Amino acid sequence: MRTVNKAEQFIARFIDIVGAPNVLTEPEDRLAYGYDASRLGAMPLCVVIPGSTEEVSRILAEANRERIPVYARGAGSGMVGGAVPTQPGIVLSTERMNRIFEIDEENFTALVEPGVITGVLQKAVSRYGLFYPPDPSSLAFSTIGGNIATGAGGPRAVKYGVTKDYVLGLEVVLASGEVISTGKATIKRSVGYDLTRLMVGSEGTLGIFTKILLRLLPAPTTTYLLFVPFRGAEDAAKAVVTILKRRILPSAIEFMDETVLSLVASHSPVPIPPEAKSLLLIELDDLEELLEKNTNAVRQICIDHGALLVLVSSDDSESEALWAVRRAISPSLAKIRPAKINEDVVVPRSRLPELVNTVRELSKKFGIPVVSFGHAGDGNLHVNILYDPQNKIEKESAVKATEALFRSVLVLGGSISGEHGIGIAKSPFIRWDIGEETLEVMWRIKYALDPNNILNPGKIFVPNRAFLKK
């Protein structure tokens, strides 16, 4: 008679909870769910795909009783290894929990499950003349739950803020299996601790979201997109600072450096001048009269800072084509080097020209490609340090360049992560940013809610230079 081992017993219990089709145990399935977009990965014991709050509660109660690690996963689009199962445990996928329960036109709210795709929600609310502003580049496949877990942002953060600014309330399953509700469908509330804000950005270490109440806005009626190439990268960065100094608040200001332009030039719907060393995509939305005034002002500011030309588009299809080019940048970088360290550093907006210069100097100093693009309007650039993993010197240089980047950003008064979170890729550096005392307070909160440390263990708090394994 074959002896049933303990792992098989656990799996059998999970099958009882969610059904056999929703527990994946084959090696290829476990491998696929063990990776995220950071290219880091590990093999979980199994993958469990619940379909309701009750099932999530039962799964966590069982896992907590048996001390089984649980790694919540949305679409696996995270860039810091936040969903990677660093210890033998279960990956809990929210893919079946993808319902939009309600879009409330009167109160400008939406009640959804964590597995709803961000872009799907945006299209759904747009049919009611409403607007969900957070727009990470992965919006076509990333989930609302994952966006909340990492505190995702996107191009429109300069005017509209980031994901945390749109979360009114949460239903959360704690490690014990207890279910709590935070927040309400009100704009104001002052009752006890703000547990909603605590949960946003917690990266699956404090609880698992099962229902999410989001704030919506009226959709903007008119939008212009400005396509502005510059002779120099610092010229573009200084133009951004000047636009904001003039009290003009575009809905997005996206920056691309010279290397990025060389990658996207061939499929840009608008020709990029060969002498361009950088480019800004500037989106403005407002009432027609004010929009015209601000567009003209931004055009003149860009010209004064050395813009080669300023093209203004109000055509939705052309604008979407330009945004598609922007969203395609990150995967295109593999044409330069097969591996990358993708950082999302952020500095005060007035220090943006210094950050752009720092990136250029890092590339020269370490002899590897270091490119930058992203959300110039809020000082948040995606700095990608490119290298060949088969080249030992390049690999070591990439690690050194990353550390040098973080040190420079902190000197500029910035932070090591604007929207990707910490996960395991940045855990060695969190102390540089927030200090030992603050990290200790965070650990006490974690321990109070998850004393057995079953929720996403090995993330945020554990020094782990995981990106060296790429």
CATH number at residue 55: 3.30.43.10
Q: Write out the residue range of the structural domain in which residue 453 sits.
A: 430-469
Question: Would the pLDDT of 467 be above 60?
Answer: no
Separation between Cα atoms, residue 453 and residue 456, nearest integer Å: 8
Residue 214 has pLDDT above 70, yes or no: yes
Residues 378 and 246 in one domain: yes
413 confidence band (pLDDT: 50, 70, 90): very high
- Two tokens at 146? 């994952």
Q: What is the mean predicted confidence (pLDDT) over 133-140?
A: 92
Mean pLDDT of 438-465: 90
pLDDT band at residue 463, thresholds of 50, 70 and 90?
low
Residue type, 221: T
For residue 378, pLDDT beyond 50:
yes
The verdict on 69 and 11 lying in the same domain is yes
User: Which residue, among 323, 330, 407, 429, has the nearest Cα to 78 in the 3D structure?
Assistant: 330
- Arithmetic mean of pLDDT, 195-216: 98
The pLDDT value given to residue 4: 52
Confidence of residue 143 (pLDDT cuts 50, 70, 90): very high
- Residues 281-315 pLDDT 10s: 999 998 888 899 999 999 999 999 999 999 998 88
Helix (H, G, I), strand (E, B) or coil at 405: helix
| Residue 311 and residue 180 share a domain | no
The reply to whether 253 and 171 lie within a common domain is no
CATH assignment of the domain containing 125: 3.30.465.10
CA distance 169 to 181: 7
Q: How far apart are CA 382 and CA 395, in angstroms?
A: 19
The yes-or-no verdict on residue 213 having pLDDT over 70 is: yes
DSSP state of 207: -
pLDDT band at 39 (very low <50, low <70, confident <90, very high): confident
129 CB neighbour count, 10 Å cutoff: 11
pLDDT in tens, 318-328: 888 888 888 88
DSSP 8-class letter at 187: S
CB < 8 Å & 24+ apart, contacts of 296-299: 297/246, 297/248, 298/226, 298/243, 298/248, 298/250, 299/226
Read off the amino acid at residue 372: S
Q: Are 50 and 96 in contact (CB under 8 A)?
A: yes
Structural domain includes residue 157: yes
Write the pLDDT tens digit of every residue in 188-201: 999 999 999 999 99
Both 416 and 334 in a single domain?
yes
For 12-28, give one letter per residue: b (16+ CB within 10 A) or e: ebbbebbeeebbbbeee
pLDDT at 327: 83
Q: Are residues 211 and 230 in the same domain?
A: no
User: Among positive and negative, which fits the CA dihedral 21, 97, 30, 204?
Assistant: negative
Residue 470 has pLDDT above 80, yes or no: no
Strand order in the sheet with 339-343: 311-313, 223-230, 278-285, 252-257, 370-375, 380-387, 339-343
27 domain-assigned: yes
Q: Are residue 270 and residue 329 in the same domain, yes or no?
A: yes
What's the CA gap between 249 and 199, in Å, rounded? 29
Please check whether residues 412 and 437 belong to one and the same domain: no
24 located within any domain: yes
Angle value at C-alpha 186, between 185 and 189, nearest 5 degrees: 120
**Tally of residues, the chain:** 470
| Same domain as 175, residue 121 | yes
* Mean model confidence pLDDT for the chain: 94
pLDDT tens column, 229-245? 999 999 999 999 999 99
Domain co-membership, 227 together with 319: yes
Domain boundary among 166, 189, 218: 218
Indicate whether 337 pLDDT > 90: yes
Beta pairing class for 109-112 and 208-215: antiparallel
The token pair at 329 is: 């940048």
Q: How far apart are CA 109 and CA 187, in angstroms?
A: 10
Within a domain: 334: yes
Are residues 394 and 245 part of one domain?
Answer: yes
Q: What is the CATH number of the domain that holds 379?
A: 3.40.462.10
* Cβ neighbourhood burial of 280 (10 Å; 0-12, 13-18, 19+): buried
Share of the chain above pLDDT 90, in %: 86
pLDDT, tens digit, for every residue of 7-20? 889 999 999 999 99
Percentage of residues of the chain with pLDDT beyond 70: 97
For 219, which DSSP code?
P
pLDDT tens profile 53-109: 999 999 999 999 999 999 999 999 999 999 999 999 999 999 999 999 999 999 999
For the cut 90, the answer to whether the pLDDT of residue 429 exceeds it is: yes
pLDDT for res 469: 40
Asked if residue 255 and residue 388 are part of one domain, the reply reads: yes
How is residue 122 annotated by DSSP? H
Domain termination site, one of 93, 123, 156: 93
For range 144-162, the mean pLDDT: 96
Q: Is there a domain that residue 66 lies in?
A: yes
The answer to whether position 1 is within a domain reads no
Instruction: Give yes or no for a contact between 44 and 84, defined as CB atoms under 8 angstroms apart.
Output: no
Residue 362 domain-assigned? yes
Say if CB 151 and CB 201 are below 8 A apart.
yes
147 pLDDT above the threshold of 60: yes
Count of the separate structural domains present in the chain:
4
Summarize the confidence of residues 117-140 as an average pLDDT.
96
